[in-house]
Amino acid sequence: MIEDWLVRFRRFGAVQEGHFLLTSGLHSTAYIQSALILQHTREASALGSAIADRMRQTHPDVVLGPALGGIVIAHEVARALGVRSIFAERAEGRMTLRRDFAVAPGERVLVVEDVITTGGSAQEVAGLVRDAGGILVGVAALVDRSGGRVRFDAPHAALISLDLPVYPADACPLCRRGESVVKPGSRAPRSP
């Protein structure tokens, strides 16, 4: 049976409409708040298993998620694959491995994110893998809101692919109409 993941995301209120300032600094009429579905352990487990099934052929040794959004889903994917799970976090504005987490030279790493818009965080974490001498075997996400336009130098997959509109702040039609903007998410947006 093919699961309609978007229906499940909507059922848990994880697809929101309005005027949002994204972490990328772009504005959008839609926001994916994956934490609202991931807070339910059965849903998180099912989502992690579904990504694991799509990426199993990459044979990772470790799953690495960018904090904060990627931590839960990376852990669930790693659990489904039976491998180690670690996460990267920002320190002084840059993704880094802390808490004695490390990628060993030659270690096969799958990067798992909750939502991809521009791919910036996933690319930054992939850079950590390469800098450590690890092998980036793939990138996966719950949601690719670029409609498949974001590309990586490794196999990549998303459970949900949406082509959601994004606008630079200076060209946002919602701003021109005077609609107030909401900044959800886990970190301050990057400067455009």
Token duo for residue 192: 């455009």
**45 is a domain residue:** yes
Average pLDDT of the residues in 44-50? 97
Does pLDDT of 191 surpass 50?
A: no
pLDDT > 90 in the chain, percent: 79
Does pLDDT of 85 surpass 70?
A: yes
Q: Residue 156 belongs to what domain range?
A: 5-176
Q: What is the per-residue pLDDT for 184?
A: 85
What is the rounded distance in angstroms from the CA atom of residue 83 to the CA atom of residue 64? 11
Q: What is the per-residue pLDDT for 3?
A: 64
Does pLDDT of 29 surpass 70?
A: yes
Q: What rounded mean pLDDT belongs to the chain? A: 91
**184 is a domain residue:** no
Q: What is the per-residue pLDDT for 185?
A: 67
pLDDT in tens, 107-166: 999 999 999 988 889 999 999 999 999 999 999 999 999 888 999 999 999 999 999 889
Contact at 8 Å (CB) between 136 and 126?
A: yes
Average pLDDT of the residues in 33-58? 96
As for how many domains the chain has, the answer is: 1
Split at pLDDT 50, 70, 90, the class of 61 is very high
DSSP state for residue 69 in the 8-state scheme: T
Q: What is the CATH number of the domain that holds 59?
A: 3.40.50.2020
pLDDT in tens, 150-190: 999 999 999 999 998 899 999 999 999 999 999 886 554 55
- Whole-angstrom distance between the N-terminal and C-terminal Cα of the chain? 42
**What residues have CB less than 8 Å from 30, skipping those under 6 apart?**
15, 16, 17, 18, 20, 145, 162, 164, 165
Average pLDDT of the residues in 57-64? 98
Token duo for residue 147: 């409609």
**183 is a domain residue:** no
Instruction: Region of 57 please: left (phi>0), alpha (psi -120 to 50) or beta.
Output: alpha
Q: What is the per-residue pLDDT for 192?
A: 45
Q: Look up the pTM and report it.
A: 0.89
What is the rounded distance in angstroms from the CA atom of residue 161 to the CA atom of residue 58? 21
